[in-house]
Structure 1
């Protein structure tokens, strides 16, 4: 299993357009980026690959990393930074199976799968495959399981990807607070590589209108507001899941410049062989 981090940033990416903060300037000086979230996973046994989320930076990411176009894709939720790159399918793919959860979202009245079908009905190459969370499916030679996480006000999912030929396992938290359900944690547990949402360091919770939540025994918030984990929350979850290796993703440019490129914060283009 070869994992390529196509996009490791949050909704605005780093550097952020029009921003001259110290972190964005440092990213420019270093020649690194955190574009909008997306992950590419290759299965060398069947010569197929899987895409997790359609970043709006799809074209740039695929040209930059020179990875093969995916044979299938999974969408975790319908926020634009994870979905709006789907339009890149036009005139690029002859056909593409897109897997998405079939649970109805109380906020939208539709499932993620239904939203994709409705919003991208004009893309004839797309075949949407409604998928039941917590039930394993077989895609591109991998065993894949979507798991519910907490990212209000919309439903959102993390996922575990396992290679039955080698036992290698990749877990992705998806966009989530620290309050990941126990049944989801059980599926995500014991990965060789964990990609964990860590939008900001915990000390920035003081700047959020509602502060932080899910404090640890040390009083440090593990959730920033309601929708994303702090760096400390992501690392606590990684420890609880028994992750062999952890990379922090969905990272915002709000990290202070002297913290923004420290381990284990990921940047675009990192690759891992599991």
Structure 2
């Protein structure tokens, strides 16, 4: 297999019907573009989901943070750069840089991924795939100058804001609730008037367990004492007759 560059560059467009009332690209759609770039990058280099599925493996997102100076506007073209900066046995970290064609920086992202066995749903050894091929594409030097995802603290006084049901459109190729759908459901906890006055500056999410179609998701929110307009959240899942379990935590900072 031909050795490619360690850093992948992929072109995208902020399509108008993927933008909000402020003409900004929805953060959920931006997140999907980041995940697509990650898949393009890993697939081109031989350890993407298309290959992994043939050996009963797949990638699952464990943590994601997006930090933005600006958000692409409707019809605006932008580039997502992505690269691996660390690869371990059970986790790998992947960075993102979002720019326009002139090099203006919209923002950055950091993510942590795990590889699982699609039959057992248990962690799988990343370094065993194609004799550790991923290590040939690690770049520790290309800068991604944002803080790594942090531990999100939720106290016992967090308010239950909403409970929703999950359906067909929430489920992704891995058979569980899509990583980005959690983000979209979280952002729906604030109404349109809030977004007329505030813009998302940083969004962090950490996934702790899978949920599936038919689960109910409950959203608990508390204001952070660290910074104004910052909120911490946790999402739990449950089915009738089953225990309520945490599925992910989020931290959001608005301007």
Structure 2 length normalisation: TM-score?
A: 0.30
Give the strand-richer structure, 1 or 2: 2
Structure 1 length normalisation: TM-score?
A: 0.28
Structure number, greater radius of gyration: 2
